[in-house]
Amino acid sequence: MKIIMLGAPGAGKGTQAIRIAAEYQIPHISTGDIFRSNIKNGTELGKKARAYMDQGLLVPDELTVDLVMDRLDQDDAKKGYILDGFPRTIPQAKALEKALQERGDKLDYAIDIEVPDENIVDRMSGRRACTGCGATYHIKFQPSAKGALCEICGEPLSIREDDLPETVQKRLDVYHSQTQPLIDFYKERDILRSVDGTKHVDEVFADISAILEA
């Protein structure tokens, strides 16, 4: 079972990927984790990636695909995996497809979690974090019993810069221009499956499970 997760920032991809990985006993693989692991372990690929990152440059698609394929060669990925956060662009998707084809392999599903932009802005801009202990709340879905203060330690709550409405909208704009074209790419390959991400997380997981077990 070889899956990639699609969806805008804040759609819940990571949450669902973790649940799928636990339920079906396959690794949840994110490019961020791959980069960190290779850099920490000082691998040749990690050294190459670090050279770009230290200069504030994006790691080239070819090197990113090499890092991903190296991760997919590990024993725990033999019976399947979930790719989260990669590919992000059509060139990355084509490079991944080519690398998989060269080993006689292919993806089984591209799961798209659909959530309207306004819902995502509402979700993310309502998040609040404690400046003291780091506990998180949501002004609508999980408010603190102490209002603007943390109910655990009493320190003030604040909104992270990443969660400011204008920042969220910029991230969504980037997603729509760069990543959303992947939906058509995988639709053409007949592996795209979409679920309604506005439902409760348990319902979203049930819908994804129904797709995977069909």
pLDDT, tens digit, 9 for 90 and up, residues 150-207: 999 999 999 988 889 999 999 899 889 888 899 999 999 999 999 999 999 999 999 9
Confidence grade of residue 93 (pLDDT, cut at 50, 70, 90): very high
> What domain range includes position 186?
2-27+74-115+174-212
16 compared with 56, residue with greater pLDDT: 16
d(CA 163, CA 126): 8
Among residues of the chain, what percentage have pLDDT more than 70?
A: 100
Phi/psi-derived region of residue 74, left when phi > 0, alpha when psi is between -120 and 50, beta in every other case: beta
Length of the chain, in residues: 214
In this prediction, residue 94 carries a pLDDT of: 95
In this prediction, residue 23 carries a pLDDT of: 95
Contact 212/205 with Cβ under 8 angstroms? no
Burial class of residue 199, CB neighbours in 10 A (0-12, 13-18, 19+) = middle
Q: pTM, whole model, 2 decimals?
A: 0.83
Residue 78 located in a structural domain: yes
Residue 155 located in a structural domain: no
Give the chain's domain count: 1
Among residues of the chain, what percentage have pLDDT more than 90?
A: 75
Q: Which two tokens stand for residue 40?
A: 């920490």
In this prediction, residue 162 carries a pLDDT of: 85
Q: Express each pLDDT in 113-149 by its tens digit.
A: 999 999 999 989 999 999 999 999 999 889 999 999 9
d(CA 20, CA 2): 11
Give the CATH number, domain containing residue 83.
3.40.50.300
Residue 47 located in a structural domain: no
Residue 80 located in a structural domain: yes
Query: Which residue is it, tokens 């991230």?
Result: 171
Three-state DSSP class for residue 192: strand
d(CA 73, CA 78): 7
d(CA 111, CA 198): 15
Residue 13 located in a structural domain: yes
Confidence grade of residue 48 (pLDDT, cut at 50, 70, 90): very high
Could you tell me the strand order of the sheet in which 28-30 lies?
A: 28-30, 81-84, 2-6, 109-114, 192-196
Tell whether the model's pLDDT for residue 83 goes beyond 90: yes
d(CA 1, CA 106): 10
Residue 201 located in a structural domain: yes
Q: Which two tokens stand for residue 78?
A: 């033999």
Q: Which two tokens stand for residue 80?
A: 């399947």
Q: Please report, for residues 32, 81, 113, the alpha-carbon distance to residue 84 in angstroms, rounded to integers and kept in the order given.
A: 9, 10, 12
Q: Please report, for residues 34, 128, 130, 182, the alpha-carbon distance to residue 9 in angstroms, rounded to integers and kept in the order given.
A: 20, 17, 22, 15
Residues with a catalytic annotation lie at 13, 88, 127, 160, 171
In this prediction, residue 141 carries a pLDDT of: 87
Residue 190 located in a structural domain: yes
Residue 159 located in a structural domain: no
Could you tell me the strand order of the sheet in which 136-138 lies?
A: 136-138, 127-130, 157-158
Q: Which two tokens stand for residue 11?
A: 């759609």
